[in-house]
Each structure stands twice: as structure tokens, then as C-alpha cells.
Amino acid sequence: MLNKNLKDFNSLKLEYSCDSFYEINDFEDIYHLSVKIREENKKFWILGEGTNVVIVDDLKGIVVKNNLSGISIDKNSVEAASGENWDYLVKVCLKEKLYGFENLSGIPGSVGACPVQNIGAYGVEVSNFIEYIETINLIDGNIEVFNAHECKFGYRESIFKKLPNHFITKIKFSLSTIFKPNLSYESLPEKMEINSAEELRKIILNIRENRLINPEQEPNVGSFFKNPVVSKIQMENLLADHPDLKFYFVKEDQYKISAAWLIEKIKMKGYQGKDCGVSKKHSLVLVNFSKKSENLINLSKKIKDVIRKKFNIELEYEPTFIS
Ligand SMILES: Cc1cc2nc3c(=O)[nH]c(=O)nc-3n(C[C@H](O)[C@H](O)[C@H](O)COP(=O)(O)OP(=O)(O)OC[C@H]3O[C@@H](n4cnc5c(N)ncnc54)[C@H](O)[C@@H]3O)c2cc1C
């Protein structure tokens, strides 16, 4: 389809257009697309549900919308097509008495995007369960399979952020047949007795509903910034100046500083910009009320500038910017 408005395909509800919009429903579509990309030498962008992208401008090329579907289960192994909805997969796994995904309940988006930024919530990351990922390089049409080690997973990071030509087609996960709640995260009720995975899922969904903002009401992409990771010395220096600093130990000489705390400290929680702002409910969430992303991006730059000056910390964006 030509010249499509992308408003309904991104959770910031940005109204940019693309030259061409190509939906992938099966492998034949991928094959044809790959030929088209080669023959026409076109630029392209892969889109799942658009809940983690900031579109910067009209897109002069092809937007590739993924609708691949199918989930198959064999003992504790789950193979899911990349166009499936992530939370639907979580529900299916729970129904099949396969455990591990509970803390990742309610994260918006598609299965195919889950490894790209290694989605995580409440002390759990999806990389803990990934066996392998199948991709097709849309430039040369070759299939490439990455095992978990080759994905180079990190905090909101993976190799796929550096391989934008690789279309993830399916993912194989390995789950547990035994339910063992992970209550390590601070806002989970560690002492509370959790009797079932369904109960834990309900608790997670409740917390999310209270803390996060529904993009249908206030368009957003969830956390706009990653929590910065600093060395022990940097953390101690910060702590000397700010005894109330909120931080978490990651591993030797790595400490995660709460980006939400930094934004609260510069008094920008609830800040109202032009047609955008910082949520009153959650300081990491920027909300957008414009058809264009310019004001939102300027606001994000302002936040980064103030934090750089005050704390000497460079905040990194969590969503992918596409232009
Ligand atoms: C309200 C809200 C809450 C959120 N909470 C969390 C949270 O708790 N934890 C968390 O980690 N994230 C969270 N997010 C971010 C988002 O849900 C995840 O990043 C999700 O994985 C994005 O999925 P998507 O299908 O919408 O990806 P998109 O936004 O469509 O794409 C994101 C990136 O992945 C790439 N991509 C998508 N599909 C494919 C594919 N098949 N092959 C190759 N590349 C692909 C895109 O090119 C793009 O670079 C939240 C977002 C919102 C709006």
C-alpha cells in the first residue's frame, strides 16, 4: 500500500507517512519483499506493534509490518512466530503450565521485538528463556539462526539493534514445568505467599495498571530512557552528594542508577511541554499529544541536557528512533 499514515501503527500516535507499507503474513511474503528490496534498492523499517519506536519524519521507503502467527509447544519448549502478541504468548504458556514468563506479563508488543531490546520487568529478562532465534536477512534473503549466546543480550540490548536488516521470524523458548515465583524485585511482595503463576501474573498486571500509562489515553512508549549504568567510584561520588540516590548493584563495578530518580531530582516529573510532557504518574514515561515527534524529542533532549549538567550522566534512549 502506498503513502500510508502510520498513526495506528505506533503507540505515540505519530502521524507520519511511509512511501510503501508491506504486510508480512507468511514466508512467501518475506521472499517477495526481499526480492523487491534487492531489485529496487529500497530503504525499509521492520515494525511489530510499534510500542517502542519514535518516528522522526515521513519514511522514504517501505514499512514492513509483521503479522506472522503460530505457537507450537513440545514439552517445555515453545516456538512462537514473531508476529504473535507477547502477552498472548505469556497467557498461552501459563495455560499450558509452562512457567517463567509471569513477571513479563502485560508488556505490550510482539514476540519478534522481545529480543531486540531484551524486554524485562520486575527482575526478569526474556533472554533467560531464549534458546534460539531464526531470522531472514531481507537484503540477501538468507536465513540465519542465532543461539542465545550469539544474541549478545544485555540490559535492554541485543545484537539485533545492530542488525536492522534481519527480520526475526520465530523464537524458540525454553520454560519450566515447575512454578517458582521470582519475587526478587523491590516492588513485589517478597514475604507474601504466592500460590500460583496465575496469581503472580495478576499481581504484576495490577502493579502495571497502577504505575504505567495506557498509550490509548496518553500516547507513550513506556520508559523513554534506560537506567544508566555507572562504576563503583561514580556511584560513590554521586552518593556523597545525594545520600538519597536510588541505585542497584548489577555486578562487579557496575551499578544501575534509577533514571526515574534522576528525573524526579531535576523536578521534571509531571513537566508539561508543548503538546507533550513527562507523566505525572511515572517520570520515565514521556507522553505525546502531537502528530509530530519534534516537541517530544526536544523535551527528551532537554531532560538529557539537564541531567548531564547536574549529575555528569549521559542518559540513553530506550526506544528506537526511525527516520
Ligand atoms: C505502556 C508501555 C509499557 C512498556 N513496558 C515495558 C516493560 O515493562 N519492559 C520492556 O522491556 N519494555 C516495555 N515497553 C516497550 C515495548 O513494549 C517493548 O520494547 C516491545 O518489545 C516492543 O514490541 P513492538 O512489537 O511494539 O516493537 P516495535 O516498536 O514495533 O519495534 C521495536 C524495535 O524492534 C524491531 N523489531 C520489531 N519486530 C521485529 C522483527 N520481527 N524482526 C526484527 N526487528 C524487529 C523494530 O525494527 C524496532 O527497532 C513498554 C511500552 C509501552 C508502550
CB 115 within 8 A of CB 126: yes
What is the C-alpha separation between 210 and 117, in angstroms, rounded?
A: 24
CB 78 within 8 A of CB 173: yes
Do 117 and 41 fall within a single domain? no
CB 87 within 8 A of CB 106: yes
The Cβ of residue 308 has, within 10 Å, a number of other Cβ atoms equal to 12
Which of these three, 66, 84, 105, is where a domain ends?
Answer: 66
Do 83 and 6 fall within a single domain? no
Query: Is 308 annotated in the active site?
Result: no
Query: Is 290 annotated in the active site?
Result: no
* Residues 206-259: tens digit of each pLDDT: 999 999 999 999 999 999 999 999 999 999 999 999 999 999 999 889 999 999
Which of these three, 27, 51, 66, is where a domain ends?
Answer: 66
* Residues 117-145: tens digit of each pLDDT: 999 999 999 999 999 999 999 999 999 99
**Res. 201: pLDDT tops 80:** yes
Do 311 and 237 fall within a single domain? yes
Candidate of 52, 130, 209, 227 to mutate for ligand 1, largest count of ligand atoms within 8 Å of Cβ: 52
Domain span at 271:
229-322
Do 193 and 110 fall within a single domain? yes
Do 52 and 77 fall within a single domain? no
Q: What percent of the chain has pLDDT over 90?
A: 93
220 part of a folded domain: no
Do 164 and 36 fall within a single domain? no
Stretch 71-82: mean pLDDT: 98
Query: Is 258 annotated in the active site?
Result: no
What is the C-alpha separation between 105 and 38, in angstroms, rounded?
A: 38
Do 84 and 202 fall within a single domain? yes
**Res. 195: pLDDT tops 80:** yes
**Ligand 1 first shell, C-beta below 6 A:** 11, 45-53, 66, 82, 107-110, 112-114, 116-117, 119-121, 160, 167-168, 212, 215, 220-222, 320
Element (H, E) at 45: strand 44-47
The Cβ of residue 298 has, within 10 Å, a number of other Cβ atoms equal to 13
**Res. 1: pLDDT tops 70:** no
77 part of a folded domain: yes
CATH of the domain at 246: 3.90.78.10
pTM of the model: 0.96
**Angle at the Cα of 220 (from 302 to 264), degrees rounded to 5?**
45
**Res. 184: pLDDT tops 90:** no
Sign of the CA dihedral running 118, 121, 127, 132: negative
Do 165 and 197 fall within a single domain? yes
Do 281 and 301 fall within a single domain? yes
The Cβ of residue 144 has, within 10 Å, a number of other Cβ atoms equal to 13
**Residue minimizing CA distance to atom 36 of ligand 1:** 113
Do 82 and 200 fall within a single domain? yes
Do 81 and 207 fall within a single domain? yes
**Nearest-atom index, ligand 1, CA of 119:** 11
* Residues 34-49: tens digit of each pLDDT: 999 999 998 999 999 9
Do 266 and 317 fall within a single domain? yes
CB 222 within 8 A of CB 52: yes
**How far apart are the CA of 193 and the centre of ligand 1, in A?**
32
Burial class (CB in 10 A: 0-12, 13-18, 19+), 41: exposed
What is the domain count for the chain?
3
CATH of the domain at 147: 3.30.465.10
- The pairing of beta strand 17-24 with beta strand 71-74: unpaired
221 part of a folded domain: no
Which of these three, 37, 66, 95, is where a domain ends?
Answer: 66
CB 203 within 8 A of CB 167: no
Sheet holding 276-278, edge to edge: 272-273, 276-278, 286-288
pLDDT confidence bin for 2, thresholds 50/70/90: low
276 part of a folded domain: yes
223 part of a folded domain: no
Stretch 303-319: mean pLDDT: 97
151 part of a folded domain: yes
263 part of a folded domain: yes
